[in-house]
Each structure stands twice: as C-alpha cells, then as structure tokens.
Amino acid sequence: MKKIKQMGIWMDHSSALLMELADDAIIRSNVLSDFTHEDKEFSLTKSEKVMHNKEHQQRNSYYKKLGDVIKNFNDVVLFGPTNAKDELLNILKGDHHFEHIKIIVKHSDKMQESQMHTFVKEYFK
C-alpha cells in the first residue's frame, strides 16, 4: 500500500512555512517570495505599472516553487491570514498535474510556529 504524503503550508504573500507530517513529527522548510519591500520601493520610483508587473512575475515564481513542492504530496492543507492561499489554489486548479492531489484551504490568523505544527497535526488526524 502506498503511503499517503501529507503537508500543511502556512503562507502569506511573502513567505510559506512548509510542514510535512511524517510519523507524527513535522519536517519543516521555507519558501520565500522574491518580491521584497526594497523591490517595491525601487519599482515605485520608476512607475507604478513597472512595480505591479514585477510583483506579478515574482508572485507567479513564488507560487510555482510551491506548486513544485505540492506535486510530491497526496494531501495538502493551505492556511494563513491572507488570500495568498486562495490565489495559489486557483492556479493549481488550472493545472492537470494537481488533479489527484487533495488540496484544502483553511483561514487562520497569524500563528506561532508551534501553533502551526499543532494545526497541521490536528488537521490530518
């Protein structure tokens, strides 16, 4: 029987904490967006349109990195305080590579890392 691989991802638009559930332990890693506050400030000095284009490109790159990780799991819960999780889910729904992966979105407030770990463990019980 194939082992079900489960992951919780707490995310906002700037970073994601990836928590793989492995035998009731959490293996954690991070994915960061490349669009920093400094990039935004610099882009705004050129023009607002340039800033929005760069932000859009960087956000797509960030979501692609997350998608590349999610492809390796069977069951994923996306959670966090912003709508970044919904944006990512909409992108993944349009890609046939994710058809057989259960991806659920849950709203949550800001959390301490220990609270995130508890949330993931409780969700997959």
Grade residue 57 by pLDDT with cuts at 50, 70 and 90.
confident
CATH superfamily of 6-123: eRF1 domain 2 (3.30.420.60)
The pLDDT assigned to 45 comes to 58
Q: Taking the CA atoms of the chain, what radius of gyration do you get in angstroms?
A: 16
Grade residue 41 by pLDDT with cuts at 50, 70 and 90.
low
Do residues 121 and 21 make contact, with C-beta atoms less than 8 angstroms apart?
yes
Question: Alpha helices, DSSP H only, in 4-111?
Answer: 37-46, 48-70, 84-93
Model pTM score: 0.84
Please report, rounded to a whole number, the percentage of residues in the chain having pLDDT higher than 90: 66
